[in-house]
Structure formats: structure tokens, C-alpha cells
């Protein structure tokens, strides 16, 4: 893959990710300006996630009949229009529509990037490319989260809209054509008939669900158990993303050098270690270390699994890249709900349940992942 082509893909991933984490932080500001109750306004989060998870299923098969360049070009333009609409929204209903459309068209980026890396990069170097790509998305997400606290909320949508339109011009003139096939063939049923691939996606479902069951309740845990102020809580949560920047890149390199499965297992081991450590009431500086371990563990696992997907047979690759994004978003949403039910009973009970669930998943890795 030529460097400038990969650079364009990374910019596209950065534009997609800029406001993913920031949107939840914007809910109070949006609620106040648009005169809408907080819990109604909060729908802007899942109104993005749900269509993303559903429409991600279509983009892999779609490029069997349409050239990937034009699919991506149309999607980035419409994604930018969606963010522009969100930034200019005068009422909550327009913002809801904008977030829905952002999910529909934003869902194209990661599946098509994985497919293109699989087709354009040698198998021995794919982990490095995938790790770098996701590291850049983490950086962008972290930047958006930071800016959400210091700039007017509408700019969190207008910034990716502007850069999306600019990038679309470069994509039109600089992005080469990749491939086109003459007929649409959707192989999801074939995937589910293949036990090896089916078990891989069962693994992805549970690892994503367990991760979000912990990640999305950490701020509540630090407030309830430790009584930390917002500033200290934000530092700890930010560290999970900051460490993820390095975790994705290093995890991709490890996947190439030491193998996908060892990297996946190392990641889940670090996740388990950090969860069990959270049960104890450590001082703040040790919690910093635990959060770094947690972030690195998740991203090692994510980089290893994502690289593994690019090695799947040609007839399964497109659907698998789409299914990966879809399952992660759907199971992530379930994980937030599932984690809330556990943590409401007891944080210790919740951590133990998820920790042993991950430990069981670690023992099943060699059974579930045989690709």
C-alpha cells in the first residue's frame, strides 16, 4: 500500500473518531441550549451506535459491485453533511436525524479500511498498519474529548464536517481505484456455517461486551468507592485512551512478530489483571498504573483480533470486516446495560463476574480461535 493512500485512510479514521467519545460529554450543554431533558438528549449517543452497527453489515458486500474508492468518497461526503447538520441544528429532532445519518455513513470507514489493508499489504506487515490506523483514531478521539470541555459544543460537529469536505477533495483526486466485481453476493450465511469464523465472532462478541461492561462504569466506580472529584476521575479515564494509542501500535507490531494469538492472549491477560486489582482500594498513583494496564490490554487484544480478520479467506473477508464493526457496537451497547446491572448490586461482584468471564474466555481462546 502506498504511503499517501494509507495516510488518507488514517485521516478518514481520525475524522470519524473525533466526536465519538466527546458526544457523551456534550449532553449537558446540548440539553441546556436546546431546552431538552438530559435523558432525552442522551439519545444522541445510541442514535449513532445503533445505525452504525446495522449498516456496517452492508459496506463489505457493497464493494463487490461498486468501486471502493467511490463508496468511501460518497460516504465521507454524506458523513460530513451529517456533522454539518448536527452542528447547525436548531432543535433536538434535527440533531437526532443528524446523528442517525452519521452512524449510517460513518460505518463504512473501518470495514473498508480492513479490507483494503488485507488486499494491499503483505500478511507479515498488516499488524503494523492496523495498529497505526487505530492509534490515530484513538488520538483523534482523545483530542475531541479534550476540546469538548473548552470549545462551544457545535464545533465538535463542525470541525469533522469541515475536514471531511476537505479530505473528500483529496480522495477524489489522489485515491486510486482498487477493485470492482460484477455481482452482489452476501456470504453471511456461509460465515455462520464455517465453525472457525463463527467461533471467532462469538469471541469478539464476548470480549467487547466484557470490556464495555467495565469501561463505561469506571467513572461511577471512582466516584462512589473513592470519592474522587471530576478532575481526578477524568485523568484516570483519559489514561485508558492515552495508553490505547500506544497499545494499538505496539499490539500491531507484536501481532506481526510474535503472532496474532499470543498478542490476543497477552491483551486479555492484562485486562484480567487490571480488573482484579481494581477490587482493592489502592492509592491514586497505583490506580494510574492499573488504568494504563487496562488500556494497553484492551488495545493489544483489539489489534491482534483486527489483524487476524485480514487473514481470512477472500470469500469471507468483506463480510467479516463489516461483521466485526457491527458486533463490536451491538455487544458494546449490551455490555453497558449488563455492566450497570452488575455494578448496581456491587462493584466487587461486578468486577469478579467480568474478571472470571474474561478468564474463562482466555482458556477458550485456542478453542474459539483456530484461524
SS3 readout for 231-246: HHHHHHHHHHHHHHHH
Q: At what angle do helices 43-62 and 92-106 cross, to 10 degrees?
A: 30
Closest listed residue to residue 117, CA positions, set 272, 324, 347: 324
Cell readout for 25 is: 460529554
pLDDT of residue 208: 92
pLDDT tens for each residue of the chain, 371 residues long: 678 889 999 999 999 999 987 887 788 888 889 999 877 887 887 788 888 888 988 888 888 788 888 999 999 999 999 999 999 999 999 999 999 999 999 999 998 888 888 888 888 888 889 989 989 998 998 898 888 878 899 999 999 999 999 999 999 988 888 765 555 566 777 777 888 888 899 999 999 999 988 987 887 788 888 988 867 887 888 888 888 888 989 999 999 999 889 999 999 999 999 999 999 989 999 999 999 999 999 999 999 999 888 888 877 888 888 888 888 888 887 887 788 888 888 889 999 999 999 999 999 887 778 76
Distance between CA atoms of residues 352 and 343, nearest Å: 11
Which domains are seen in the chain, by residue range? 3-174 (1.20.1250.20), 188-368 (1.20.1250.20)
Whole-number pLDDT of residue 14: 95
Q: Which set of grid coordinates corresponds to residue 349? A: 461482584
pLDDT of residue 230: 65
- Given a contact cutoff of 8 angstroms between Cβ atoms, the answer to whether 87 and 158 are in contact is yes
Q: Which CA distances in Å does 66 have to 60, 61, 112, 327, 331?
A: 10, 9, 12, 24, 29
Amino acid at each position: 500500500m502506498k504511503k499517501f493512500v494509507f495516510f488518507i485512510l488514517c485521516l478518514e479514521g481520525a475524522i470519524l473518531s473525533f466526536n465519538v467519545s466527546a458526544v457523551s460529554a456534550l449532553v449537558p450543554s446540548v440539553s441546556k441550549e436546546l431546552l431538552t431533558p438530559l435523558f432525552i438528549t442522551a439519545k444522541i449517543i445510541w442514535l449513532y451506535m445503533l445505525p452504525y452497527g446495522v449498516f456496517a453489515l452492508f459496506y463489505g458486500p457493497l464493494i463487490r459491485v461498486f468501486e471502493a474508492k467511490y463508496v468511501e468518497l460518497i460516504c465521507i461526503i454524506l458523513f460530513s453533511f451529517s456533522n454539518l447538520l448536527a452542528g447547525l441544528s436548531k432543535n433536538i429532532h434535527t440533531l437526532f436525524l443528524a446523528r442517525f445519518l452519521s452512524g449510517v455513513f460513518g460505518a463504512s470507514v473501518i470495514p473498508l479500511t480492513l479490507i483494503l489493508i488485507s488486499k494491499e499489504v503483505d500478511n507479515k506487515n498488516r499488524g503494523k498498519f492496523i495498529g497505526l490506523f487505530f492509534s490515530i483514531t484513538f488520538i483523534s478521539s482523545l483530542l475531541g474529548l479534550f476540546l469538548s470541555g473548552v470549545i462551544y459544543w457545535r464545533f465538535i460537529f463542525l470541525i469533522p464536517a469541515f475536514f471531511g469536505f476537505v479530505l473528500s477533495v483529496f480522495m477524489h483526486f489522489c485515491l486510486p481505484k482498487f477493485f470492482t466485481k460484477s455481482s452482489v453476493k452476501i456470504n453471511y450465511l456461509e460465515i455462520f456455517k464455517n465453525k472457525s469464523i463463527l467461533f471467532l465472532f462469538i469471541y469478539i462478541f464476548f470480549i467487547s461486551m466484557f470490556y464495555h461492561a467495565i469501561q463505561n462504569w469506571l467513572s461511577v466506580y471512582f466516584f462512589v468507592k473513592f470519592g474522587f472529584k471530576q478532575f481526578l476521575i477524568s485523568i484516570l479515564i483519559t489514561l485508558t485512551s492515552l495508553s490505547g494509542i500506544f497499545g494499538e501500535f505496539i499490539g500491531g507490531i507484536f501481532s506481526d512478530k510474535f503472532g496474532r494469538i499470543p498478542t490476543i492472549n497477552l491483551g486479555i491477560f492484562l485486562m484480567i489483571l487490571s480488573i482484579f486489582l481494581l477490587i482493592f482500594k489502592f492509592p491514586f498513583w497505583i490506580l494510574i498504573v492499573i488504568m494504563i494496564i487496562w488500556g494497553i490490554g484492551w488495545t493489544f487484544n483489539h489489534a491482534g483480533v483486527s489483524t487476524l480478520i485480514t487473514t481470512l479467506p477472500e470469500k469471507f473477508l468483506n463480510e467479516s470486516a463489516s461483521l466485526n464493526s457491527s458486533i463490536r457496537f451491538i455487544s458494546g451497547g449490551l455490555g453497558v446495560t449488563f455492566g450497570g446491572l452488575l455494578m448496581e448490586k456491587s462493584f466487587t461482584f461486578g468486577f469478579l463476574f467480568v474478571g472470571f468471564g474474561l478468564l474463562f474466555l482466555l482458556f477458550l481462546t485456542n478453542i474459539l480461535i483456530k484461524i
